[in-house]
Every structure is written in structure tokens, then in C-alpha cells.
Amino acid sequence: MNKRSSVSQRGKTSTVRKTIFRQKKEFHQMQARLSFAEKIRILVELQKIARNIKKKDIFVWQI
Amino acid sequence: MDKTLRVVNTLKKGKLIEDYAIAGGIAAMFYIEPILTYDLDIFVILPREMKTNQLIDLTPVYDHLKKRKYKWKGEHIIIEGVPVQFIPVDELEEGAVRNAKMITLKGVRTRIITPEYLVAILLRTGRKKDIVKVEKLLTQAKVKTAVVKKIVRAHGLQNRLATVIKGMHE
């Protein structure tokens, strides 16, 4: 790989990374805009996952 | 959680607490993406008669809840399926409760701490997970920077805020 193509490859990688990080940021912001009730529903699902992984005495909200 | 908040509202109606606001992870989650948390923190301002000789007495609150058959699990009281922790406020937190935002969850009116006060409270606590929440609040929520600066200045937290902001740009 010559110097020019190496620079070009790096440029492409950088663009791809920027796109990925922008998409990630947009996803998190979209999640932040969910209704409070929907966030609570997701929270209960997260608690169930945590209980299954940690096998600990995790209290899952009974709502 | 709406049923839980309905019960908490009865504490205020019955004058067992002067006022309250949702705090902690649940308050943060109101403004940011869903995060894992296990309890519902409620900041409470107690009526003057319950703060005698600098001692804070939550007994009337707990008695009221016990009468309604709510049970304890560790340091939490389970109200309608949700572990709740009542936290009597200090000066910063009292400001947070007095300036809390009114919201409605499934028809139940409740109050929740503003993102600006949350940032200050989380900065003060300063654990790694608190700083992560501060970063999320600053990037995902509509936070009034001037208000945050005013609160953190009043409570000597400017350096902590500066450190977090610097870390976010590195």
C-alpha cells in the first residue's frame, strides 16, 4: 500500500467512525426522548436482565 | 409507579411531609435515556414539628405506611411493588424540592427534580456512576447552563463541574 492509498484508507476509516459515533449519539438522544412511562417499562426489563445475569437478590419492580 | 406515587401523595395530603420530589436515578431517567436503577428515591421536606432539636423523625411517615401494610426490604419500603427510600433533605436538596417540576404520570400528578439541580446534586455525590449521569444530562437533556452555574456556585461545586466538562471534551 503506497502512502497516498494509506492516507485515503485512514480518511475512509475516520468517516466511518464519525458516522458510527453520530448514529450512536442520535440513538441515545432518541431514547432520552421516550415517554417517562415507556422508560419505566424499559427499566423493569433491565432489572429482569440484571437479575438473570447477576443471580443476585435483585428486586424487580412489580408494577 | 403511578400507584406508588399516589401513595406518596397521600403523605403530603395528610401533612406527614411538607413537600417531596422524585430524585436519584429515576429523576435522571426522566431527562435521559433509560438506565438501570433499583429504587425510587424521594426527597422529603418534613413539617417543622417533625424536626425537633435538629433531629429528623420519619416515624410518622413509616407508621402511616406500615398501617397500610407496606413492608420493609432492607433500607427500602416496598410501596405498590416499588422499593422506595425517603431521604430528608439538606440545604441543596431542599432547593431542589422547592424548585421541582410538576409532571403527570398516568394521571398522577407528582414533582421531579429539575435537571439543573440534579447536575449539582450528582456533582456533589461525585461517584463514577453519578458523573456518568451528569455527562448524560449535559448531552441528552435540555439543561439551562446559567441555572446550573448559579446552583453550583452557591454550593461550591464549580471546580467539579469544570472537571466534568473538561473530561467530556478530552
pLDDT in tens, B115-162: 999 999 999 999 999 999 999 999 999 999 999 999 999 999 999 999
The count of CB pairs under 8 A between chains A and B is 59
Asked if pLDDT for residue A5 goes beyond 90, the answer is: no
Q: Which of B29, B36, B73 sits opposite A50 (nearest CB)?
A: B36
**Residue B51 phi, psi (nearest 5):** -120, 70
Q: Is B85 exposed, middle or buried, given 0-12, 13-18 or 19+ CB atoms closer than 10 A?
A: middle
Angstrom distances, CA of residue B57 to CA of B51, B87, B108 = 7, 11, 27
pLDDT tens, residue by residue, B44-95: 999 977 666 667 788 899 999 999 999 999 899 999 999 999 999 999 999 9
Buried b (16+ CB within 10 A) or exposed e, B137-150: bbebbebeeebbee
Lowest mean pLDDT among A9-13, B11-15, B106-110, B137-141: A9-13
Q: CB atoms < 10 A from the CB of B73, how many?
A: 11
- What are the strands, taking DSSP E only, across chain B? 19-23, 40-45, 51-52, 55-56, 71-73, 76-79, 82-88, 101-105, 108-112
DSSP for B24-50 reads HHHHHHHHSS------EEEEEEPPGGG
ipTM summary value: 0.90
Q: Which of B91, B83, B78 is nearest to B117 (CA)?
A: B91
Is A3 near chain B, with CB under 8 Å?
A: no
Asked if pLDDT for residue A24 goes beyond 60, the answer is: yes
- The one-character DSSP state at A47 is H
Q: Which of B1, B35, B76 sits opposite A63 (nearest CB)?
A: B1
Return d(Cα B77, Cα B87) in angstroms, integer: 12
* Average pLDDT of span B99-113: 96
Q: Which of B142, B141, B140, B161 is nearest to B150 (CA)?
A: B161
Q: Which of B110, B46, B111, B40 is nearest to B80 (CA)?
A: B40
Residue type, B128: K
Is B143 near chain A, with CB under 8 Å?
A: no
Is A1 near chain B, with CB under 8 Å?
A: no
